[in-house]
Amino acid sequence: MVSTKKYPIQRIINWYYGNFCTRKCFNKEERIFDCHLKFQQFLDKNQGLMMTHKEFKDILDNDDLKICKLKPNFKKRVVNWFQFERWLKDPTFDPDKFD
């Protein structure tokens, strides 16, 4: 079941950043920092914004808010903790090679 509860944008950004950005681009520190700055700029302009997690993810997945540089299909993908741990152990992992 999808939650329809709206949360402050800061909480939604923290959730997305921790569960999507850092799990997919953990080995690209400059990119993560760049995305963090873009999220911060968005937050600064939208302090009072409230939305659901799904609404925010849809905005990013559909490129309505251009922050992520990953290919569309990989950007939309949810990465569970076990997959993330496997990628951490793989020295050849490159998020730019996924589609």
2 has a pLDDT exceeding 80: no
Q: Does some domain include residue 48?
A: yes
Q: Does some domain include residue 1?
A: no
Residues near 95 by beta carbon (within 8 Å), at least 6 away in sequence: 24, 25, 27, 28, 70, 74
Confidence (pTM): 0.88
Q: Does some domain include residue 27?
A: yes
Q: Does some domain include residue 49?
A: yes
65 has a pLDDT exceeding 80: yes
| DSSP per position, the chain | ------EEHHHHHHHHIIIIIHHHSTT-HHHHHHHHHHHHHHHHH-TT-EE-HHHHHHHHHTTSS----S-HHHHH----HHHHHHHHH-TT--GGG--
Which one, of 62, 51, 60, lies nearest residue 20 by Cα? 60
Q: Does some domain include residue 99?
A: no
- Tens of pLDDT, residue by residue over 22-58, are 999 999 999 999 999 999 999 999 999 999 999 999 9
Q: What domain count does the chain have?
A: 1
Can you give the residue range of the structural domain that contains 68?
Answer: 7-93
